[in-house]
Chain A
Amino acid sequence: MIEALLVMAGLALALGAALGAASVLFRTQGDPLVDKIDAILPQTQCGQCGYPGCKPYATAIAGGDADINQCPPGGDEGVRKLADLLGREYKPLNAEHGVEKEKAVAFIDEATCIGCTLCIQACPVDAIVGAAKQMHTIVADLCTGCELCIAPCPADCITMETVTETLDSWKWRYPVFELKVEPLQVSAQPPAKEAA
Chain B
Amino acid sequence: MFGKLFSFNGGVKPDPSKADSTREPIARLPLPPQLVVPLHQHIGGTPRPLVRPGDAVLRGQRIGAADGNVSSAVHAPTSGRVVAIEPRLMPHASGLSSLAVVIEPDGQDHRAEREYFDWHAASPGEVRDFLRDAGVVGLGGAVFPSHLKLTPGKQGQTDTLILNGAECEPFITCDDMLMRAEAEGILRGALIMKRLLAARQVLVGIEDNKPLAAAALKAAALALGDAALEIVVIPTRYPAGGAKQLIRVLTGIEVPHGSRSTDYGVQCFNVATSLAIWRALEQGEPLTRRIVTVAGNVERPRNFDVAIGTPISHLFDAAGLRPDTDKLIMGGPMMGIPLPGIEAPVVKAMNCLLASSPTLFPPPEAEQPCIRCGECARACPADLQPFELYWHSRARNFGRAQEYHLFDCIECGCCAYVCPSHIPLVDYYRYAKSEIWAREREKDAADSARERFEFRNWRAEREKEEKAAKLAARAAAKPAAKPAAAGAAAAPTSMADDPKKALIEAAMARAKAQKEAVEAKNTGSLTTAQQAQIDATEARRARAAELADGDKPE
For B551, give its contact among A33, A165, A166 (CB under 8 Å): A33
* Chain B residues, Cβ within 8 Å of A170: 92, 94, 96, 434
Please determine whether A175 and B427 come into contact, CB atoms closer than 8 angstroms: yes
Contacts between chains A and B (CB distance < 8 A), count: 104
Tell me the complex Cα distance, A90–B395, Å.
19
Q: CA of A59 to CA of B543 in the docked complex: distance in angstroms?
A: 12
* Chain A residues within an 8 Å CB radius of B428: 175
Interface centre among B98, B449, B551 (most CB of A within 10 A): B449
Q: Which residue of B lies closest to A34 (CB)?
A: B550
What are the residues of chain B within 8 A of A173 when measuring CB–CB?
431
A35 touches B435 (CB 8 A): no
Residues of A within 8 A of B430 (CB): 172
Residues of B within 8 A of A166 (CB): 96, 98
A125 to B452, CA, bound (A): 5
With the chains together, A41 CA to B368 CA distance in Å?
38
Contacts of A174 in B (CB 8 A): 431
A62 within 8 Å of B by Cβ?
yes
Q: Which residues of B contact A118 (CB under 8 A)?
A: none
| A43/B550 contact (C-beta < 8 A), A170-B94, A177-B364, A193-B366 known | no
Residue in contact with B92 in the complex, picked from A41, A127, A167, A178, CB distance below 8 Å: A167
CB-based nearest A residue for B449:
A43
The smallest C-beta distance from B338 to any residue of chain A, in angstroms, reads: 12
Is B452 touching A32 in the complex (CB atoms < 8 A)? no
Interchain CB contact under 8 A, B553 and A62: yes
Would you list which residues of chain A between 109 and 144 have a CB under 8 Å from chain B? 124-127, 141-142, 144
Q: Contacts A43-B446, A175-B428 known; A165 to B550 CB distance under 8 Å? A: no
Identity of the chain A residue whose Cβ is nearest the Cβ of B550 in the assembled complex: A34
Is B366 in contact with A124, judged by CB distance below 8 angstroms?
A: no
Main secondary structure, interface of A, reads loop
A44 lies within 8 A of chain B by Cβ: yes
Contact yes or no, A177 B367, CB < 8 A: yes
Contact partner of B549 among A38, A43, A53, A59, CB < 8 A?
Answer: A59
Q: Which residues in B have their C-beta under 8 angstroms from that of A178? A: 367
A33→B546 CA distance, assembly (Å):
11
B94 near A167 with CB under 8 A, answer yes
A172/B90 contact (C-beta < 8 A), A43-B447, A59-B549, A126-B455 known = no
- Beta-carbon contacts under 8 Å, A133-188 to B: 141-142, 144, 165-167, 169-175, 177-179
What residues on A are CB-neighbors of B90 within 8 Å?
A: 167
- Tell me the minimal C-beta distance from A66 to chain B in angstroms: 12
Q: Once the chains bind, are B456 and A125 in contact (CB under 8 Å)? A: yes
Could you say which of B369, B449, B454, B549 contacts A44, with CB atoms under 8 Å apart?
Answer: B449
- Residues of the A chain whose Cβ atoms lie less than 8 Å from the Cβ of B456: 124-126
Q: Are the C-beta atoms of A169 and B441 separated by less than 8 Å? A: yes
On whether the beta carbons of B441 and A167 are closer than 8 Å, the reply is: no
Q: Which residues of B contact A (CB under 8 A)?
A: 40, 90, 92-94, 96, 98, 364, 366-369, 424, 427-428, 430-431, 433-435, 437-438, 441, 445-450, 452-457, 546-551, 553-554
6 closest Cβ contacts across the A-B interface?
Answer: A34-B550, A43-B446, A177-B367, A175-B427, A172-B430, A43-B449
Q: What are some 13 contacts across the A-B interface (CB < 8 A)? A: A32-B554, A42-B446, A43-B445, A54-B450, A63-B553, A142-B452, A167-B98, A170-B94, A170-B434, A171-B437, A172-B431, A172-B433, A175-B424
